[in-house]
């Protein structure tokens, strides 16, 4: 029997005093309904004004918390992602003051994506090209031992806003328990994202997620661990990549340079605007550390799938 927790049962910060909305026995399956990261402030019919007027006190909602029966500090909660049921739309925005290149992209921008809800494979971009979709959970975490309300924005050792695009169907995630009952919450679902989520948003999308929840006693892990069930990029890498790099002694500077150079390359090749290129990089391109041993300079690469414009 599958349990169901509705998106109305959500909260906006980690707090171990929040009463659980559901009790889950290890081994049970739960269908978790989620809101998009704007908590419904942006809809499939939204215009730019809706992004400009976002209430940032109501972003990144997570559904829960769910109490895992028998969970104690030192254990690990294991979550297997089984199915993702999309609503057929999502959004990507450039939010001023947020993102890797916020100093370069100061104006707001919004793109609404549409796709087949029953078979989300690709979605067309406003400036041309198609982005491969890979639904996943952006935020999933347990309550912290530390009392009080903690922002849901930064990731933590108990999980949270990890934004790892491989939290997709077939992946098994393990999170360390810090409080009795663990108090699991899930949200911030995405239809697609590149590694790095460089503009600050992915394809933000409300998605219902079927998970199986298990408990590993005395696991004694100190941060999230996960296993994938298949290759993680073969949905987009069939025809290769464009790659730009940043080389130097600072990884953050290198990351910014690699992304900036890809934006310049896409603007030149595809005749799109820098903002459009930036948003495409966020939902489809991957930042990678290519070299971190040849001191004093490290190499950060940005991979952009050529399939988008094939």
For residue 179, the domain's CATH number is 2.60.120.580
118: its two tokens: 């029953």
Strand order of the sheet with strand 241-248? 241-248, 298-305, 286-291
29: number of Cβ within 10 Å? 16
In a domain, 233, yes or no: no
The answer to whether 170 touches 72, Cβ cutoff 8 Å, is: no
CA–CA distances in Å: residue 133 to residues 63, 110, 157, 222, 244: 23, 18, 28, 31, 23
Last residue of a domain, one of 227, 253, 282: 227
Q: Are residues 124 and 254 in the same domain?
A: no
**Is 232 contained in some domain?**
no
Regarding whether 282 and 216 lie in a shared domain, the answer is no
78 pairs with which residues across the strands? Answer: 174, 214
Q: How many CB atoms lie within 10 A of CB 310?
A: 10
Q: How does residue 230 score in pLDDT terms, banded at 50, 70 and 90?
A: confident
Cα 173–chain centre separation: 14
Confidence band of 236 (pLDDT split at 50, 70, 90): low
Pair 187, 150 in one domain: yes
Of the three residues 227, 253, 270, the one that is the final residue of a domain is 227
Query: Looking at the structure, do residues 127 and 201 belong to the same domain, yes or no?
Result: yes
Q: Cis (ω within 30 of 0) for the bond into 65? A: yes
Asked if 64 and 102 sit in the same domain, the reply is: yes
Q: What is the domain extent for residue 210?
A: 2-227
> Are 14 and 140 found together in one domain?
yes
pTM: 0.95
Say if CB 138 and CB 153 are below 8 A apart.
no
Where is the domain boundary, 200, 227, 254? Answer: 227
pLDDT tens-digit map of 70-108: 999 999 999 999 999 999 999 999 999 999 999 999 999
Considering its fold, how many domains does the chain have in total?
Answer: 2
Mean pLDDT of 276-303: 97
184, 269: one domain: no
């Amino acid at each position: 029997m599958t349990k169901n927790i509705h998106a109305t049962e959500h909260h906006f910060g980690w707090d171990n005093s929040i009463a659980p909305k559901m009790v889950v026995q290890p081994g049970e399956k739960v269908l978790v309904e989620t809101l998009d990261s704007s908590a419904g402030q942006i809809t499939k019919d939204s215009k730019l004004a809706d992004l400009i007027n976002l209430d940032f006190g109501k972003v990144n909602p997570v559904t829960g918390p769910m109490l895992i029966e028998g969970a104690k500090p030192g254990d690990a909660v294991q979550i297997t992602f089984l199915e993702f049921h999309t609503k057929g739309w999502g959004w990507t925005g450039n939010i001023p003051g947020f993102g890797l290149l916020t100093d370069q992209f100061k104006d707001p921008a919004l793109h609404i994506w549409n796709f087949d809800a029953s078979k989300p494979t690709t979605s067309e971009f406003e400036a041309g090209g198609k982005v491969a979709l890979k639904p996943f959970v952006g935020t999933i975490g347990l309550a912290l031992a530390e009392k009080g309300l903690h922002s849901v924005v930064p990731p933590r050792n108990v999980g949270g806003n990890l934004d790892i695009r491989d939290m997709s169907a077939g992946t098994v995630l393990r999170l360390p328990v810090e409080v009795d009952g663990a108090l699991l919450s899930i949200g911030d679902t995405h239809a697609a994202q590149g590694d790095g989520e460089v503009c600050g948003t992915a394809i933000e999308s409300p998605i219902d997620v079927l998970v199986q929840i298990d408990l590993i006693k005395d696991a004694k892990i100190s941060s999230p661990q996960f296993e994938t069930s298949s290759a993680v990029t073969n949905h987009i890498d069939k025809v290769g990549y464009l790659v730009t790099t940043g080389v130097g002694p600072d990884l953050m500077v290198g990351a910014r340079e690699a992304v900036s150079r890809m934006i310049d390359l896409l603007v030149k090749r595809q005749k799109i605007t820098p903002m459009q290129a930036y948003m495409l990089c966020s939902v489809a391109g991957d930042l990678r550390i290519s070299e971190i041993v040849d001191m004093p300079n490290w190499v950060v690469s940005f991979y952009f799938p050529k399939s988008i414009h094939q």
